Amino acid sequence: NAGVTQTPKFRVLKTGQSMTLLCAQDMNHEYMYWYRQDPGMGLRLIHYSVGEGTTAKGEVPDGYNVSRLKKQNFLLGLESAAPSQTSVYFCASRPGPGELFFGEGSRLTVL
Amino acid sequence: QKEVEQDPGPLSVPEGAIVSLNCTYSNSAFQYFMWYRQYSRKGPELLMYTYSSGNKEDGRFTAQVDKSSKYISLFIRDSQPSDSATYLCAMSAGSNDYKLSFGAGTTVTVRA
């Protein structure tokens, strides 16, 4: 049972480049989330989804877009990367109420 | 002011000591309280989950919630080097609340 899988795990981008982070969960969870984690800031919610085909903005959505075309996948896109988007990105899922299951994280550096 | 405040530490204790961690919050609607443990370069994992006020014990871990003071605590007894991690508190208003509010995390090192 893989749980929540994020790809890629590491990526270096130049300012202005675009990329997509993929999150896949095999637990049939309805809710999926993208967070970023920065030193001293904790986990900040970027976007989330409460079901296939739905997305909503979190605390820090600017500069990011998401899509949930399939229930098991939640994609996070950066259209024009900026150095301020250097961070560790975590995907998480939950069945409804209760525990959030996190992926291992994706480390992104924007030069 | 952040909705959830957590002292980032770092906290360093000798093996066998009691570790005391806490968070304060401002939203009186919070009813569900969680503690997550995050090892270096890993994702957070749920450690304790409590509802409303009171205590919950699980092995060496005890979670306390004082809603009147808007204060939650996590105690680790007989701490081990394997407890070295960052501990994040999280909370939500309802069981179906889509979003959790996280503290910044406290980094704990248990010295052998």
Each residue of B40-91: pLDDT tens digit?
999 999 999 988 888 999 999 999 999 999 999 999 999 999 999 999 999 9
Q: Please report the pLDDT score of residue A32 as a whole number.
A: 96
Owner of token pair 């790809």: A7
Higher per-residue confidence, B60 vs B2: B60
Collect all residues of chain A within an 8 Å Cβ-Cβ radius of residue B99: 45, 48, 58
| Interchain CB contact of A89 with B (< 8 Å) | no
Residues of chain B found within 8 Å of residue A57, distances taken between Cβ atoms: none
- Identify from B21, B102, B107 which residue to disrupt to test chain A contact, counting A C-beta atoms within 10 A and taking the largest count: B102
Q: Could you tell me which residues come within 8 angstroms of residue A39 by beta carbon, excluding any fewer than 6 positions away? A: none
Q: What is the pLDDT of residues A28-85, one digit of tens each?
A: 999 999 999 998 788 999 999 999 999 999 999 999 999 999 999 999 999 999 999 9
How many angstroms away from the CA of B10 is the closest CA of chain A? Answer: 11
Q: Are B108 and B17 in contact (CB under 8 A)?
A: no
The structure tokens listed for B23 are 């968070």
Return the number of other C-beta atoms located less than 10 Å from residue A33's C-beta: 26
Q: Which two tokens stand for residue B90?
A: 């999280």
User: CA–CA distance from A101 to each of A6, A27, B24, B92, B94 (Å)?
Assistant: 12, 10, 24, 16, 18
Residue whose structure tokens are 């739905």? A54
Task: Write the pLDDT tens digit of every residue in A9-27.
Answer: 999 999 999 999 999 999 9
How far apart CA B104 and CA B88 sit, in angstroms, is: 7
Q: What's the pLDDT score for residue A20?
A: 97
Beta partners for residue A78, in sequence order:
A19, A64
Task: Give pLDDT, residue B7.
Answer: 84
Residues of chain B with Cβ-Cβ distance to A87 below 8 Å are none
Ranking A95-104, B50-59, B103-112 by mean pLDDT, the lowest is A95-104
DSSP B43: -
